Amino acid sequence: MSLYTTVMKTLVAIPALNEEITIKQVISAIPQQLHGTEVEVLVVDDGSTDSTAAKAREAGAFVISHGRNMGLGTAFRTMLSYARENGFHFMATIDADGQFNPEDLPALARPVIKDETDFSTASRFMDPSLTPDMPALKKWGNARVAKLVSNLANTRIHDATCGFRVYGPKALDRVACFSRFTYTQEVLIDIARKGLRIKEIPTKIRGEREHGESRIASNLWRYAHLSAEAMYSVSHGHSPWRFYGTPAFLLMGMGTLLDVFTLSWWLVTGRISPFTAFGMGGLFLITFGILLVLFASIADISSANRKMLEEITAMETRRIRQKRNTPAS
């Protein structure tokens, strides 16, 4: 039995930056319905200097323009806010460059709309026969990122950087993203840590853009640095004692052992040398460990406040959805 008695709505959200060549083609290929849900298309124009916004409107999409380039993470938050404020039950994200085929949306959305999972994401690497042609360095980098995200999320992820995804009501209500640069890895970790169901769908995807250069991965070193920053942020937000407390107690334990050894040497010989450095090093490790414990305590309080705010946001999102989708009496 369905949770909703009215027609459900799916937002297909497209972040775009100077994609005038492909944007109309992508929008025109998006289905008007997905498994009984009405589809609306939103394009977030992230500071394009070409005719991306105009062409998106011509194709029938609603367009929100940032005015200047704010980053993919900010574009995602804009899409998320629009979906929440307008009572959408589901949100799909697809890129504007044509690498993803909109005809694959029904297969990607089906398990979410049928309530078999809370979140689905296309996977380029789950099925080896569907692995796209791409430079070996990018393929290697994707594999390393997927392994790291899997460890941080405590669940197996084959493709952590694909932006072709569908969010169900629970994911839409509760997902959070704070990074400016990107959102793909951060969102996966966040959703997994909140206990929501994740399903990867093997999908055939073009390995390289047909036109132009990737806005995200054109500088792999910068991409790796900012992605790691985003993953660290969301992970220590969910598990502050894992990131600060564990090394803190290890450092204090090592420092205590060094100082106990130095003290024992002094009691036996009446002098500290030649282990003076041990004693000083032990004190340093204990002091640094205590500082990390303080950091863990502060981060834990911050994490609790974040969870409380996210629950308030989720309640408000559900209220708006119910209000907007309840027939007038």
* pLDDT per residue rounded down to tens, the chain (329 residues): 344 446 799 999 999 999 999 999 999 999 999 999 999 999 999 999 999 999 999 999 999 999 899 999 999 999 999 999 999 999 999 999 999 999 999 999 999 999 999 999 999 999 989 888 888 888 888 888 899 889 888 899 999 989 999 999 999 999 988 887 888 988 999 999 899 999 999 999 886 666 555 555 555 566 666 666 666 666 666 677 777 888 899 999 999 999 999 999 999 998 888 989 999 999 999 999 999 899 888 877 777 777 777 778 888 888 888 887 766 55
CA 264 to chain centre: 51
Q: What pLDDT does 112 receive?
A: 97
Cα angle 303, 304, 307 (rounded to 5 degrees) comes to: 85
Say what the pTM is.
Answer: 0.78
Cα angle 18, 20, 21 (rounded to 5 degrees) comes to: 120
Q: What pLDDT does 242 receive?
A: 77
Q: What pLDDT does 304 receive?
A: 74
Contact (Cβ atoms closer than 8 angstroms) between residue 28 and residue 6: no
94: Cβ contacts below 8 Å, ≥ 6 apart: 12, 13, 14, 26, 30, 100, 102, 105, 163, 164
The position carrying tokens 């008695």 is: 5
Please tell me whether the peptide bond between 128 and the residue prior to it is cis, using omega within 30 degrees of 0. no
Q: What pLDDT does 181 receive?
A: 80
The 10 Å Cβ neighbour count of residue 208 is 13
Q: What pLDDT does 227 receive?
A: 64
Q: Which of 285, 293, 288 is nearest to 261 (CA)?
A: 285
Work out the burial of residue 163: count CB atoms within 10 Å of its CB; fewer than 13 is exposed, 13-18 middle, 19 or more buried: buried
Q: Which amino acid is residue 31, in one-letter code?
A: P
Helix (H) or strand (E) holding 280: helix 276-324
